Amino acid sequence: EKMGKTALILATALSMLAAASALSGIAGYKTTFEVVKPGSGSLVAKGSKVTVHATGTVKETMKKFWSTKDAGQKPFTYQAGVGGVITGWDQGCLGMSLGEVRRLDIPADEGYGANGFPAWGIPANGGLLFEIEILEIK
């Protein structure tokens, strides 16, 4: 029985470690990400013109505020790594490959900050969750 408990404790510790390592950090930033689906080929680099599918959710309320997959919406294109989008998104997508899907967990200060974005239902100091899929890299 003691051996069984030890095995259970070890298995629990390993699964907790695996869950913790599924979230990756970005050096110098608080945003974290999880790779949902790996991609292949070229990578998003600073200055790349990137087209993505994106779905944004307010972390505190779990309410979706925007998705390129909704009716009437289309994929979103931006220039990577140059500050054209919020910091957490900008940094969280660098290094993604074509076809990759990531979930970004963006704290308020790397999102819309103290003001939030009331028109989209993002509260002051609201954290954001984004699921991003890389459709094209130029």
Helix (H) or strand (E) holding 24: strand 24-25
The three-class DSSP label of residue 39 is coil
Share the mean pLDDT of the chain.
90
**Two structure tokens written together for 11:** 């298995």
The pLDDT of residue 92 is: 96
pTM (2 d.p.): 0.83
Task: Judge whether 59 and 129 are in contact, CB under 8 Å.
Answer: yes
CB of 72 closer than 8 Å to CB of 47: no
CB 98 within 8 Å of CB 137: yes
- pLDDT tens digits, 112-124: 999 999 999 999 9
Structure tokens that stand for 72 in this block? 């009437």
- Lookup: tokens for 30: 């608080």
